[in-house]
Amino acid sequence: MTLLITLFGGMLVTALFYALGRRLRLSNFWAALTAGGITCFAYLAHAVVSGLPGLDVITLHLVAYPTVSVLLYQLYGDKARHDASMHWAPKLMLGFFAVLAVLYGGFVHIASQGLPPALAGWLLPGARDKVVYTGFAGVVEHGQDAAKGISQHLKMEDRLAKQGWRLEISGLSDVRADRSLPVSVHVLDRSGRGVDGVDIRLSTGRPGQAPSAPIRLEGDGEAGYHATLRPLDAGSWVAYLSLRPGDGSPILLEHGLTVQ
């Protein structure tokens, strides 16, 4: 499920649980507490089962759901019919956190998945004629670690060239969300002949986050290696490719993915 579904769908579910609690004649306090608690624990279970999305995303959800509960508690309490039921200052604070949840959710969504195509075509010149990725560059690491990563990448490219290998990779372009991803890798030597017996493993991960457990590509006996990756959510991803020669350390390569 996407961030927008879990965030705003969860807020709607919180309101529905509150309404159900009131229909079951729970007090205003217990209806709000139960609604917020159920959605928070349900989201935590979903996050653990589907893979932790990051503390920023988890925090966003665990703030948004109780905010809806508190807002409903204040609006529909026993004194809600009276003008003096709630001062304007708490109302302003609740409104502020509700707007903040919407803005934060929108920014996190754009950071990982970019602007929706329709909105990008309206805001960005020339976006109607080509695919434009608008994810935030700030979701990947910077600083000395990033510089070391660039140096490591160049080192691995140099090792690949010294090995005399050339790679032909298919399946890592025009990737669509929620579809299995068949990937094929052909390893060719300097003369263009296929190379057999290479241990090739592939994993994926979000930029700046740890990759998933690697899967091994099975050889077909004709210098081709194949595997099928699980469906990926829309947004920016990195494919990590490991090639281990028969008697050497692995050559590690990275390939950026944009899942539409």
Tell me the pLDDT tens digit for each residue of 224-256.
888 888 888 877 788 888 888 766 678 888 877
d(CA 121, CA 136): 17
pLDDT given for residue 156 in this prediction: 67
pTM: 0.45
Please, which pLDDT band fits residue 16 given cuts at 50, 70 and 90? very high
pLDDT given for residue 74 in this prediction: 78
DSSP element (H, E) containing 202: strand 199-205
For 140-259, give the CATH class: mainly beta
> How many angstroms separate the first and last alpha carbons of the chain?
15
pLDDT given for residue 57 in this prediction: 78
Q: Is the pLDDT of residue 147 over 80?
A: no
Parse the chain into domains and list their residue ranges.
3-123, 140-259
Q: Is the pLDDT of residue 166 over 50?
A: yes
Q: Extract long-range pairs of 18-22: CB within 8 Å, 24+ residues apart.
A: 18/68, 18/69, 18/72, 22/76
25 versus 57: the higher-pLDDT residue is 25
Give the Cβ contact number of residue 238 at 10 Å. 17
